Amino acid sequence: MAGRPHSRPRLIDVAAQAGVSMATASRALASREGVSERVAARVRDVAAELGYVANPHARTLAGGPTSVAGLLVYEIGDPYFSEIASGVVGTAAEHGWSVQISHTERDSRAEAAQIRLMRAHRVGAIIVAGSGYVDPAMEAEVARELDAFQETGGRAVVIGRHHLRCDAVLPDNSAAAASVAEHLLELGHRRLAVVAGPRHLNTVTDRLGGVRSAVAARGLDPDDMPVAYVPFTREGGRAGAAQILEQHPGTTAILALNDAMATGVLSVLRERGVAVPAEVSVTGFDDIQVAQDLAPALTTARLPMSEMGVAAFELALRPPVSRPRRKPTSHGLVVRDSTAPPA
Amino acid sequence: MAGRPHSRPRLIDVAAQAGVSMATASRALASREGVSERVAARVRDVAAELGYVANPHARTLAGGPTSVAGLLVYEIGDPYFSEIASGVVGTAAEHGWSVQISHTERDSRAEAAQIRLMRAHRVGAIIVAGSGYVDPAMEAEVARELDAFQETGGRAVVIGRHHLRCDAVLPDNSAAAASVAEHLLELGHRRLAVVAGPRHLNTVTDRLGGVRSAVAARGLDPDDMPVAYVPFTREGGRAGAAQILEQHPGTTAILALNDAMATGVLSVLRERGVAVPAEVSVTGFDDIQVAQDLAPALTTARLPMSEMGVAAFELALRPPVSRPRRKPTSHGLVVRDSTAPPA
DNA sequence: CCGAGGAACGAAAGCGCTTGCAGGAAGCGC
DNA sequence: GCGCTTCCTGCAAGCGCTTTCGTTCCTCGG
């Protein structure tokens, strides 16, 4: 019988009840070999009957497998990241894993510190969502932590980030951005401007690169295209839009490199009485849930955030291979009401 | 020196380096009494120098304090919950805690199961965000798990949920809903309709109660007011709006009991060419970030989700008291462009 | 019918930490 | 200078589990 009162059953209780040793009970529950099916079944039955759940701390301490994953996001309150988190958390639950979430607030040093913390917590896998840095020095510290984690048997997966020695879920930011730009060019726009995120993020340079190559393919000079480097937020979008309106009044289309910034762009245009899309077309990127409900409904490049979260967790579950896997994701152009031919 | 190569330092390494026993080192790092300040400082210095981080599994197993909190939400991808999570995760990080997040998908049995799982994980605190159930039987299982958790020394805090024996962060749903209804009545509306969430949720009955009492206070009969019970989602809002438009064509104002549903209501009205607010006024509830960017910008009752998350975590940090604390939160009416006097 | 070779199981040693308890060094009054 | 507190500090016993290494018991070929 159980030792203390009011205490959940221990493995030793299950073992006693089933008439076997702890070793056998442990093996039976981990469905490892070396136990006869008859005994294993009995142990499992007893465990179920007693409502036994292994203490994960003891398990981990003794060298067993962990089933806690760490998820790093810039800001869980941001729709882009919360949709990714939704995919990760849901899939993890299906596999009996739980998920620890951390904010990193767009700071590579904070990222490295969080990874270090998760390593200390002995998580079994770490999923890093969020852009990489253009400056290799900034990326280095994160890379070092991730490498150390993998060397000790942990599984690391990044989302939308290359240049790291681990499995990755990679949307084709460049191609998706190009498709948005092509859509605008197709409509006849020639005076495009970009509200980009921070210039030190890979995601920004990738997306911007896509836009520039699409522009160049039309015979235009990408260097003539104004680019506002602002924070990846609604407020950043507002600042970028204001800047473009003032310095480049002839602009007929503004490409925001994520939907949050596009929201800000739209709000500035509305305040200033600029009609969208009649006077200026606006595009976003990501297709967060609310993009369809903005005024006007936002034309944007769709990234399957939730599926990316699912894919990332599933990669984390698979055993590592020597050469890092790169799992591409779909993307698509979603044309709504914020784009139209130029006046 | 450390034992194995490639291995992070253990407490015993810190102790050796500082020339004290593990016991003293442990006490020094936990800043517990019984250690001279001189020795404690030395130990802390050595620990910092070696980059020592305690193994939380060993710590917990040995009976030490935990610094992992569990957060239960219906759906982390939903803005309401992700904003709460943002507050919780940020505050937790400041205090050196990490946060495990679980989906419950609006199912009380899943909730209870998740709490059980978190108990098995020996989290130090559990924060449950999400409505309670009107049916006491459904609430009972959750209550039982939460009670058991608290009996074993865990800290439980609920957000927006009463009838549970634990600390709570409680927005005044009824008053906030009443203020929205009063705003519409003030504008001259007399034919209100409500797009409510699921009728078995306390949040819904509370908010609906607020609306009904405001209506009654104007001398109108609340029972004449149509109510559509639909899921708490954008799709639910669409269904509710469709139902009201068809069965109660004279309606001049639709109150959605959360912003997600309001988004759906607006989308249906837009599709059907009903002008908002010229023909029909629409209100939401919560004031999620995007409410300001909808078309038209949504008039809604503001709940400080992020602050609620912060408050919940801070409550969890405080020692329990015999009588559960109820921490009220502010709420406010945010008037934007989706409401106007009836035509 | 005997011995070799497995398969199934058990004993016990940790994993890294906290903490109750005992021991030792100061500090006090006399 | 002695006995008694009062502080500090160290010893060692676990926390609940996994895993290595033996041991036992079968099975089967010769």
Q: Write down the pLDDT at residue A241.
A: 98
**Backbone torsion region of residue A122, taken as left when φ is above 0, otherwise alpha when ψ lies between -120 and 50, otherwise beta:** left
Element (H, E) at B114: helix B108-120
Q: Is 90 exceeded by the pLDDT of residue B322?
A: no
Do B159 and B221 lie in one domain? The reply is no
A109 touches strand D (CB under 7 A): no
Whole-angstrom distance, CA of residue B190 vs CA of residue B214? 12
Do B227 and B260 lie in one domain? The reply is yes
Do A185 and A247 lie in one domain? The reply is yes
Give a yes or no: residue B282 inside a domain. yes
A234 in reach of chain B (CB within 8 A): yes
Give a yes or no: residue B3 inside a domain. no
Residues of A in contact with B103 (CB under 8 A): 86, 89-90, 93
Q: Across chain B, how many H-helices and E-strands are there?
A: 12, 12
Side chain identity at residue B30, one-letter code: A
Structure tokens at A215: 């522009």
Per DSSP, the three-state class of B229 is: strand
Residue A48 exposure: Cα atoms within 13 Å on the Cβ side = 7
Do B287 and B183 lie in one domain? The reply is yes
Give a yes or no: residue B338 inside a domain. no
- The segments of chain A whose pLDDT lies below 70 read 1-6
Query: In 10 A of CB B246, how many CB atoms?
Result: 8
Phi, psi torsion values for B196, nearest 5 degrees: -95, 170
Q: Is 80 exceeded by the pLDDT of residue B2?
A: no
Do B157 and B181 lie in one domain? The reply is no
Q: Give the nucleotide nearest to B21 (CA→C1').
A: D10
A330 touches strand C (CB under 7 A): no
Residues of B in contact with A53 (CB under 8 A): 116-117, 120
Residue B151 exposure: Cα atoms within 13 Å on the Cβ side = 10
Residues of B in contact with A295 (CB under 8 A): 293-296
β-strand pairing of B253-256 with B281-283: parallel
Which pairs from B43-47 meet CB under 8 Å and 24+ separation? B43/B14, B43/B15, B43/B18, B45/B18, B46/B14, B46/B17, B46/B18, B47/B14
pLDDT in tens, B271-314: 999 999 999 999 999 999 999 999 899 999 999 999 999 999 99
Whole-angstrom distance, CA of residue A92 vs CA of residue A80? 19
- Considering only CA atoms, which of A69, A77, A86, A88 is closest in space to residue B105? A86
Give a yes or no: residue B1 inside a domain. no
Q: Is 50 exceeded by the pLDDT of residue B20?
A: yes
Give the residue ranges of DSSP H helices in chain A. Answer: 11-18, 22-29, 37-50, 56-61, 79-94, 108-120, 136-151, 173-187, 202-217, 234-247, 259-271, 305-317
Q: Write down the pLDDT at residue B232.
A: 95
Q: Write down the pLDDT at residue B5.
A: 47
Whole-angstrom distance, CA of residue B296 vs CA of residue A274? 16
Q: What is the CATH number of the domain that holds A31?
A: 1.10.260.40
pLDDT in tens, A287-335: 999 999 998 999 999 999 999 999 999 999 998 888 899 999 999 999 9
Strand ranges of the sheet holding B326-329, from the earlier edge strand across to the other edge: A326-329, A167-171, A155-159, A125-129, A68-73, A98-103, B98-103, B68-73, B125-129, B155-159, B167-171, B326-329
Structure tokens at B180: 């929205």
Domains held by chain A: number: 3
Do B222 and B323 lie in one domain? The reply is no
- Considering only CA atoms, which of A115, A116, A121, A123 is closest in space to residue A66? A123
Do A299 and A310 lie in one domain? The reply is no
Rg of chain B over Cα atoms, rounded to whole angstroms, equals: 25
Instruction: Find all residues with CB under 8 Å of A135, minimum gap 6, and list them.
Output: A200
**Per-residue b or e along B316-343, where b marks 16 or more CB atoms closer than 10 Å to that residue's CB:** bbeebeeebeebebebebbebebbbebe
Give a yes or no: residue B246 inside a domain. yes
Do B107 and B196 lie in one domain? The reply is no
Task: Return residues 240-299 of B near A (CB < 8 Å).
Answer: 263, 266-267, 289-290, 292-296
What secondary structure does DSSP assign to A268-289, as a single string? Answer: HHHHTT--TTTT-EEE-SB--G
Do B289 and B310 lie in one domain? The reply is no
Do A153 and A181 lie in one domain? The reply is no
Q: Is 70 exceeded by the pLDDT of residue B69?
A: yes
Phi, psi torsion values for A195, nearest 5 degrees: -100, 100
Query: Residue B99 — pLDDT band, cuts 50, 70, 90?
Result: very high
- Considering only CA atoms, which of A68, A96, A92 is closest in space to residue A312? A92
Q: Is 90 exceeded by the pLDDT of residue B64?
A: no
Taking each helix axis from N to C end, the angle separating B11-18 and B37-50, rounded to the nearest 10 degrees, works out to 120
Q: Is 80 exceeded by the pLDDT of residue B243?
A: yes
**Which of A8, A121, A293 is closest, CB to CB, to B263?**
A293
B161 touches strand C (CB under 7 A): no
Q: Write down the pLDDT at residue B233.
A: 95
Q: Write down the pLDDT at residue A6.
A: 54
Q: Write down the pLDDT at residue A132.
A: 86
Query: Residue B6 — pLDDT band, cuts 50, 70, 90?
Result: low
A24 touches strand C (CB under 7 A): yes
Q: CA–C1' span, B57 to D6, in Å? A: 35
Structure tokens at B111: 């909730």
**Per-residue b or e along A169-207, where b marks 16 or more CB atoms closer than 10 Å to that residue's CB:** bbbbbbbbbbbbbbbbbebebebbbbbbbbebbbbbbbb
Do A198 and A288 lie in one domain? The reply is yes
CB contact under 8 A, A120 and B75: no
Domain residue limits at B107: 68-171+306-329
Which pairs from B44-53 meet CB under 8 Å and 24+ separation? B45/B18, B46/B14, B46/B17, B46/B18, B47/B14, B50/B9, B50/B13, B50/B14, B50/B17, B51/B8, B51/B9, B52/B8, B52/B9, B52/B10, B52/B11, B52/B13, B52/B14, B53/A116, B53/A117, B53/A120, B53/B8
User: Can you give the three-state secondary structure of B118-156, one letter per residue?
Assistant: HHHCCCCEEEEECCCECCHHHHHHHHHHHHHHHHCCCEE
Give a yes or no: residue B322 inside a domain. yes
B124 in reach of chain A (CB within 8 A): no
Element (H, E) at A326: strand A326-329
Do B106 and B201 lie in one domain? The reply is no
Give a yes or no: residue B343 inside a domain. no
Q: What is the CATH number of the domain that holds B293?
A: 3.40.50.2300
B300 in reach of chain A (CB within 8 A): no
Query: Residue B86 — pLDDT band, cuts 50, 70, 90?
Result: very high
Give a yes or no: residue B5 inside a domain. no
A53 in reach of chain B (CB within 8 A): yes
Residues of B in contact with A77 (CB under 8 A): 82-83, 85-86, 289, 306
State mean pLDDT over B143-160: 92
Percent of chain B at pLDDT above 70? 98
State mean pLDDT over B320-335: 92
Q: Write down the pLDDT at residue A3.
A: 39
Query: Residue B319 — pLDDT band, cuts 50, 70, 90?
Result: confident
Instruction: Find all residues with CB under 8 Å of A60, minimum gap 6, and list them.
Output: A66, A122, B57
Query: Residue B186 — pLDDT band, cuts 50, 70, 90?
Result: very high
